[in-house]
Structures are given as structure tokens and as C-alpha cells.
Chain A
């Protein structure tokens, strides 16, 4: 049957356009109307005050003049080029990953390049702007080299691990070297320290967490009980008690001639803590692998160890990626706790900036800046995790 086309009636004016949208979304009934008016009043008074303050009243110069402290803390100023170099290598990896994988990662590479370029437009000293622009160039070069080369995928994973190791070496330097003198970890600070703590803890805790998760599902009673006890005890106590314990008790537990400084102790504490949570994430992934997979592998003659390594773990870990990003975010936020054990992360740099006599009474500016930095990174990561979740099709089967 063929329907003869005829002129559609125009929809009623009150249900389309701005008026229609307002009616549908804000004033659909009397209760909603009151809610809308109250919210609007709240937004205008509080939000208006805030915006007026942020533009006119706030003294953001406290952030601007102390920016280097916020970024790297007491890292020696003449060695800051090493931090820039680390950022450049991160940009290279990001650019290449964006080229190889495309999708969300490319979006992030673009966003990173745009942020760096935007920061370069601000009136910083010339060297810093040069580095920022240079990093953008590195990112673009990485992207164009790697673009569309699927075969680079496995190499990229190796490259990022190598970058991680090289960055730590670069930041630490070498004893007696004139170009790169050693910078002890006690001089790492600011956002740099926050990131180093987060990345080191997540990288080191991952294998531990996988082992604990496998241990919790092990047939061996002793291994299983050990894993359960570890995981539950660590998850039952606050992170700060674990940090406190590693700060004070780790030196006591080690032989007398081994000395480790407080940053490494904090890393150890965060690693022990994260391992328990990673273990639970991985356990979730392991449970989601259908039992038939392991049975089929056994039927093909694979031993239990090979079944776990080749069949179960690869599938489980793929499902664990979004949860791990979530773990990464909460770890990133939790690094602020090192303030309590006396390290100079971003938040404690903020506190020491506030201790300067010329920044008296500027708490709001400083803490809002710190919060904004955390917000930008956490929000970006949670957006990435959300996208990854849909890209990997986790939970949809």
C-alpha cells in the first residue's frame, strides 16, 4: 500500500522550540515550577557571587607566582628540564598511542596537545613556553609516525613501560654526574610527586594484586586463607594507618643497614594498600570469565598454570580495565594523604605556599586551584573509563 504524502500539521507552538523545552523540562507541573524557581534563585545568588569573586576579588597571582612550586615542589630549579623531558616522553607515547589506537585515546592526545598549546599562550617565562610548544611538536610527530600502524601495538606497551622506567631514572639522576646530578626523592614534590606516587603504586601493585586474586581463588587452602586475610585486613583499615605504619614501622622491619627515604616508604604503603583493591577488581574479572573457557583449555591438554596464563587471565584482565581506571582515579586522589606523613605533594605545597607571609588569607584561591587541578585530571580519567567501558563492551554480553 502506498501512502500518499500530505502536508504535515505543524506541531503546537507550546510543545516545540524554547517555550516547549521550558515547559517540558522546567515547568511541567506546579511542583517542578517551584523547584525550578528555587534552583534558579540559588544559582543566581550563590553562583553570581562566586563568579564576581573569581573574576574581580580573587588574587590569583598567588597561584601564578608559585606555579613552579605547585608543579615540581622543591625540585632544583636548574634541573627542571628533566621534568620537562619526562613530560615530552609522555607526550610522545600519548601521540603514538593516539595514532595507533585512535578513538578515545586520540581524543585525549588532541586534548593534551590543545591544553599544552593553550598554556603556551599564557605569559610565562620564555623557556617554559618553549618547552610547552616543543612538547606539542613531539606529540604531533609521534602521532604522525604511528598513525595507522597496527603492528606497533605490542611495541607501544613495551615503550610505555620503558618510558616509565626511564622517567624514574631521569628524575632521580646519577650520583656524581655533572649533567644530571642525583636529586633525592625527598626533593620531589608538587604535582610531579602526586603523579609519581600514583603511577608507581598502580604499576607495582598490579602484579601483586593479580597474584592475590589468583591466590584467593586457589585450591590450596593455605594460599587462599593468606590472600583472604591480607585483602580483608587491608581493606578494613584506613589508608592513613597503612601509610603511618610504613613510615614508622617499615624501617624497623628491614635489616638495620637498609635505609629508605620517606617517599619510597609512602610508595610502599600505597602499593600495599592498592594491591588489596586491585585484587578484588581482578577477582571480579576472573569470576566473569565463563567456566567453559577453562574446561575447554583443560580438555585441550593445557596444564592449570598454562590455562590461567593463556586463557583465563587475558580475558579477565581485559574486563578489569575500567575498574582499574577507577582505582587509578581514587589512588590519584588518595595521594593527598601523604601530607599527613609530611611529604610535599600538590596539596601540601599549597599549604606551604599559604605559610608565606605574602599569601596570608588566600586559602580560598590556593585550595580552589589545587582542587581544580585534581578535578581536571580525575574528570578526564573518569570520562576515559566511561568510554573504555562502552568500547570494550564490558557488562554487555
Chain B
């Protein structure tokens, strides 16, 4: 007997699914149009314009520092570009430096030396349990603005200076033999790559064990030979010179930039240290014991056994720390460093167009986040491929 399997439509899962989706979309549309309706009414009442025409208008305000030239007669678009470049500069430098410091602190926390691991732990706990904004403001007002004036600025072996005007570092300048050196080093790198490539393709017998070490030795040899042949260094250092009110030459770092950079690096390094520690501790002790039993020495255990396995655990949380650093650079507004958010809010105030400006800034940060996580995901895939 054929039973009727007909289900009434109000109990049919497919119909219910479709209906609830339609209801949800309708709800979103109604809520969205209510909000947008209010927005356009409010903007009309207050005389706020929409659209992005403002980017071509003359800005008329000063920006403290930037990588590209900028005058108040330039456009708002160029002002935002200056801010964006400042954000990128702080983020890239910050990511590089905080990775170095974070790895050092993370390894120090695991050190068998009691004093070192204690100091690393205290550093990490203090950094992680106080707000970044407090740290930034403290570093800016309590450290960089509290430095002595230019006349009695602090000297670091006569080549770097710190004063209320900021930090002044020596700048590398290409010397007359720079091009010759470039060619030499190019040859050295090529030779080293060939050595590395050939050695790492051969089966790993005892003799061909150090592809990286031998390649580095070749490179070093090329550089040493170059020194012998050329007889003068490729770079000279332009040392900042103290003048009456400020320093001239060298790499000037304004107090704002230095404070943002130092603050972000110190803060993020505390978090990266924990990530690194977690990654190293995630490698099971049996792995190290087995490596020791096979006769590997400690540096090679670190390089061949611990590091590749720890990287798998480290890379995903490290990515989010990098993203956090880029996003946290927006706090620079509190100490007057002209990053993209700070410049953006000035633009919003001046043009009276907060809506498009804030949309533009959020889109910028979103794009930065997406690009960073894309790159880190690629690297992550490269690291994870090692898995069986």
C-alpha cells in the first residue's frame, strides 16, 4: 500500500527555510532603510553633504610629518595619503621590530636562567595588563617630552642623539664604491644560492649537512674578498650635526613618531612573546628527546625539530597580533601623530562630511587587514605543508 508522504507546506523544511530567509532579508531591508532614511533626513537638516568630491578640495591645514611632500595648499586626498603612508610606515616598522623583541622575550621566558625568565615574565605581565593608550601617553609625555632640550641632548657614542625634538640617528649614505659593492654582493648571493640549492638537493648525509651554513660561508667569503679588492666600505654614515635649535642631517624621528613606534613595539612584543612561548611549549617533549637520542646538538634541535613544529602553532595567532598592531596604530591620534585616522578626523571636522570620511577610513583599515591576513595565510599554508 502506497502511503501518502505529502507534508503540508507549513511543515515542509524547504518552505520554512525559504520563508525564514525571506523574512530575515525583509527585516534587514526595513531596518536598513529606516536607518538610512533617518541618516539622509539628518544630513539634509544639518547641511552635510555626501559623496567623495571633497578629496579634490584644498585642505588648508598643516601636517606635522610625512613621507611625501605636502603643503596646506594640497588637496584633502593628498592629506589622507600622507596619513595613510604614516600608518603604513609605523605598522611595517612596528611589525618587524616587535617580532624581533617578542621572539627574544618569549625565548627568555623559557630560559633555564631563573633571573632572565623572571624578568621576561614581569615584562610580559606588566605590558599585557595595562592599556596600550596609558603606555603610549606615558611614553610620549613621560619619556620623550621629558628628554632634555637640544642644547644638552643625550648622546649615544657621538652618532645618535635624543632630545625633546626627538631621536636623531645616523643615516647610511651610498659611497663612491657603492655600485661596485652592489655587483659584488649580487655575485656573492648568487653563488650562495647555487651552493644552497645544490647541497639541499643531495641526500642528507653527514658531509652535506649544512646547506645554509655553507651558503652563508660562501657569501661571507665574497664580502671579505670584496673588502680586499675594493678597500673601502659601500656606505658612509651621515651623522646628525647639532645646530642652534635642532639637529641637521641623519634620520630625524619626531617625538610623536618615536613614541608611537616604541609604544606599539613594546606592547605588541609582550603579546608576541606569549604566542612564541605557547608555540614552543606546544612541541611535545618527546620530539626533543628523540632528536637528542639521534645525536643532534642543541642548536640543530632548535632549527630542525622545535622551530618547524612551533611555527605551525605560532603563525595564526601571530597574524592576529600583526593585525592588532596595525589597528592599534590608530591610537596615535592621542599623542598627535598624523596617521590616517588622525588626518581623517581633521578632514571630517573641516569638510563637515564625517560620513564619507569615516567610511573611507574604515575601508582603508579593512583593506589593510585583508591584505595582511592574505599574506599571512599564504605563509601559513607554506608552514603547514610540512605536516604529514
What is A's interface to B at a CB cutoff of 8 Å? 25-26, 28, 32, 35-36, 39-40, 42-43, 219-223, 226, 233, 235-241, 244-245, 248-249, 251-256, 329, 333-334, 336-337, 339-340, 347, 351, 363-364, 367-368, 370-371, 374-375, 378-379, 382
Find chain B residues with CB under 8 A from A334 CB.
131
Are B38 and A233 interface neighbours, CB within 8 A? Answer: no
Contact A220 B21 (CB under 8 A): yes
Knowing A35-B116, A36-B113, the reply to whether A237 touches B366 (Cβ < 8 A) is yes
A375 cross-chain contacts in B, Cβ below 8 A: 126, 129-130
Taking a contact as CB atoms under 8 Å apart, the answer to whether A252 and B43 are in contact is yes
**Residues of B contacting A221 with CB < 8 Å?**
21
* A32 CA to B138 CA, complexed, in Å: 33
User: Looking at B129, B141, B369, which has the most chain A CB atoms within 10 Å of its CB?
Assistant: B129
Asked whether B39 lies within 8 Å of A245 as measured between CB atoms, the reply is no
Residues of B within 8 A of A248 (CB): 348, 354, 358
In the bound assembly, the distance between CA atoms of A336 and B328 in angstroms comes to 13
Please state if A347 and B134 are interface contacts (CB–CB under 8 Å): yes
Which of the residues A253, A333, A337 comes within 8 Å of B130, measured between beta carbons? Answer: A333
| In the complex, chain B residues whose CB is within 8 Å of the CB of A219 | 17
- Within 8 Å CB of A235, what residues of B? 369
A241 in complex: contacting residue of B28, B137, B138, B365, CB < 8 Å: B365
Question: A256-B42, A333-B132, A382-B129 are known contacts. Are A26 and B21 too (CB-CB below 8 A)?
Answer: no
| Interface stretch (choices B276-284, B311-319, B329-337) | B329-337
B142 within 8 A of A: yes
Closest-by-CB residue of B relative to A374 is: B130
CA distance A7 to B345 in the complex (A): 80
Question: Nearest-CB distance from B38 to chain A (Å)?
Answer: 6
Question: Does B62 sit at the interface, judged by CB under 8 A?
Answer: no
Q: What's the least CB distance linking B278 to chain A, in Å?
A: 12
Query: Does B327 sit within 8 A of A, measured CB to CB?
Result: yes
Residues of A within 8 A of B129 (CB): 329, 333, 374-375, 378-379, 382
Give bound CA distance, A226 to B24, whole Å: 10
Q: Are B345 and A367 in contact (CB under 8 A)?
A: no
- Cβ of B128: which chain A residues have Cβ within 8 Å of it? 378, 382
The reply to whether A337 and B362 form a contact with Cβ atoms under 8 Å apart is no
Binding site for A on B (CB under 8 A): 17, 20-21, 24-25, 28, 35, 38-39, 41-43, 45, 48, 111-116, 119, 125-126, 128-135, 137-138, 141-142, 146, 323, 327-328, 330-331, 333-334, 341, 345, 348, 354-355, 358, 361-362, 365-366, 369-370
Name 22 interchain pairs, CB-CB below 8 A, sorted by A. Answer: A26-B113, A26-B114, A26-B115, A35-B115, A39-B113, A39-B115, A40-B115, A43-B115, A219-B17, A220-B17, A223-B24, A238-B327, A238-B365, A241-B361, A241-B362, A256-B42, A329-B129, A333-B132, A347-B134, A351-B137, A367-B137, A374-B134
Give CA–CA (A236, B129) in the complex, Å: 23
Q: Report, nearest first, the 6 A-B pairs whose CB atoms are least far apart.
A: A25-B114, A378-B129, A333-B131, A238-B327, A236-B369, A238-B330
Q: With the chains together, A220 CA to B128 CA distance in Å? A: 39
Which residues from B are CB-within-8-Å of A351?
137
User: Which partner residue on chain B sits nearest A248 by CB separation?
Assistant: B354
Alpha-carbon gap, A223 to B142, bound state (A): 49
Name the B residues within 8 Å of A379 (CB-CB). 125, 129
Of all chain A residues, the one with the shortest Cβ separation from B354 is A248
- In the assembled complex, the Cα of A51 lies from the Cα of B133 at a distance in Å of 24
Do A233 and B366 contact each other (CB < 8 Å), given the known contacts A26-B114, A347-B137, A364-B142? yes
Query: For residue A220, which residue of chain B has the nearest CB?
Result: B21
Is B134 a contact partner of A363 (Cβ separation < 8 A)? no
